Amino acid sequence: MPRRNLVWVLCVVLVSFVCLQGAPRDDENYEFYRLLVDALDHIEKSYVEKVDRKQLLDGALEGMLNKLDPYSSYIGPESYRQFERTTQGHFGGIGIQVAQERDRVLTVISPLVGTPAYRAGVLAGDRIIKINDESTENITLDQAVGKLTGPAGTKVSITVVHKGQAEPHEIALVREEIKVESVLGDSRRPDDSWDWIVDKDNKIAYMRVNSFINTTAEDVDKAIKQAKQDGMQGLVIDLRFNPGGLLQSAIDVSDMMLKSGMIVSTKGRNTRERKWPASGAGVHTDFPMAVLVNHYSASASEILAAALQDNGRAKIVGERTWGKGSVQNVIELDGGKSALKLTTAEYHRPNGHNIHRRDKAKDSDEWGVMPDEDFKVEFTPDDMTRYLDYRRSRDILKRNGKDGAKSDPQEKPQSFEDKQLQKALDYVVAQVKEKTKAVSQK
């Protein structure tokens, strides 16, 4: 490609970028483009080695998007093909959801139940410092996903530092076809189906929403109907370590729990405000609820928690959530060969407050979802590690002494006092008893 053509391609991209940023379009723009063209000329004329112009263009785009927020990125041709595959719901990978903390270090939000990473002991909060011996410093989220995913049966290694520890260690994994089971219970029946009733005496159901995918609302509906057949009087929904997923899925689950009220809205600088009110067709509004959250509850899980909290439908128990409330649009470039993933709006909860935690946000600022008053229950790093070990020991299926995790089929699940769950159960039980008393006095 002649240099002039490359410059024009770069300028077209930059025009779009600057317009999105709301910058003036005349003298300031001219100076902006001239600086870039001058830099390109110097690189091509004087750099010690011959340069690949396409790599320069990709680098310029990556650099611009890297100056925004951790969720905006340039997705090059190779990464874009992989990105399209992962958004279809079935892909080869190790089974983790990742994000970047304020320092942009690649961090595990949650391993997905039953996946290679889950069985290998990867924990929420693990910081991934290498993928296949390559440093993750300055890596984008989409680049990380591209390196972690791949055909089932292929190998990948990650070097992690557990939260609260200093020494890194390498974990070798074999990719599998990842199919997410989004709604889980506390324990399984002998036929491996979930037993939804966790408190047999008071008939309190418990379900973990692991992520929000196409089938989540349907799966929640089925689980509640089954629990009702088993005598359910109240419900605890566990969103701890839920990294989010599809917006519409979170809206659909919220809608089935609410008779009325706002669920969520989005607001952006150059996008029209959108609102999603409850339809009024809520089918599961006749029982008390509590919702468990922690620091690793993000995105769609925060939308559900905020909708139920602000509409007075459920008490929120646990810890403050992650604060990922931004909307990304995928804008195709170069005829669909590459794309920009650009943050264009933010989610706002029913009370109008912002969910998203911006880079310079303080703990005293309004973001995320806070537990209700008197319902804050924190885990120490050791509590969280022991809880995840306990949870893993209960979730892994053990058929005929074989389960991919090579654990002892006779091994009993570890014990753990889940004080967050107990707080939620105490509240729901009290509400059930109060409701029963009120009915009996009529």
**Tens digit of each residue's pLDDT (9 = 90 or more) over 34-90:** 888 888 888 888 888 888 888 888 888 888 888 888 888 888 876 776 666 555 545
Shared-domain flag, residues 235 and 274: yes
Shared-domain flag, residues 187 and 207: yes
pLDDT given for residue 388 in this prediction: 86
- 3-class secondary-structure state, position 316: strand
Shared-domain flag, residues 273 and 414: yes
- Among all chains, which residue has been given the structure tokens 């990650």? 158
Using the predicted structure, report yes or no on whether residue 3 has a pLDDT greater than 70: no
pLDDT range class, residue 101, cuts 50, 70, 90: low
Query: Domain boundary residue among 43, 67, 91?
Result: 67
In this predicted structure, which of 219-233, 333-347, 376-390 has the lowest mean pLDDT?
Answer: 333-347
Using the predicted structure, report yes or no on whether residue 12 has a pLDDT greater than 90: no
CA–CA distance, 372 with 315 (Å, rounded to integer): 6
pLDDT range class, residue 404, cuts 50, 70, 90: very low
Shared-domain flag, residues 373 and 353: yes
Q: What CATH number is given to the structural domain containing 161?
A: 2.30.42.10
Q: Cβ–Cβ contacts within 10 Å for residue 315, how many?
A: 22
Domain for residue 159, yes or no?
Answer: yes
Burial class (CB in 10 A: 0-12, 13-18, 19+), 272: exposed
Shared-domain flag, residues 196 and 173: no
- The average confidence (pLDDT) of the chain is 85
**Residue 243 token pair:** 């990294």
Shared-domain flag, residues 222 and 305: yes
| Maximum pairwise Cα distance, the chain | 89
Query: Domain boundary residue among 25, 44, 67?
Result: 67
Q: Which residues are catalytic?
A: 299, 310, 324
Instruction: Please give the backbone phi and psi of residue 204, each rounded to the nearest 5 degrees, phi first.
Output: -100, 125
- 3-class secondary-structure state, position 290: strand
Using the predicted structure, report yes or no on whether residue 191 has a pLDDT greater than 70: yes
Using the predicted structure, report yes or no on whether residue 10 has a pLDDT greater than 60: no
Residue type, 268: G
Using the predicted structure, report yes or no on whether residue 19 has a pLDDT greater than 50: no
CA–CA distance, 386 with 392 (Å, rounded to integer): 10
Determine if the pTM surpasses 0.85: no
Instruction: Please give the backbone phi and psi of residue 383, each rounded to the nearest 5 degrees, phi first.
Output: -55, -45
- Among all chains, which residue has been given the structure tokens 């006095």? 441
Shared-domain flag, residues 284 and 402: yes
How many structural domains does the chain have? 3
Quote the strand ranges of 149-233, DSSP E. Answer: 155-161, 169-174, 176-178, 183-184, 187-188, 194-195, 197-199, 204-209
pLDDT given for residue 87 in this prediction: 53
In this predicted structure, which of 20-24, 125-129, 239-243 has the lowest mean pLDDT?
Answer: 20-24
Shared-domain flag, residues 309 and 409: yes
Query: Domain boundary residue among 163, 178, 193?
Result: 178
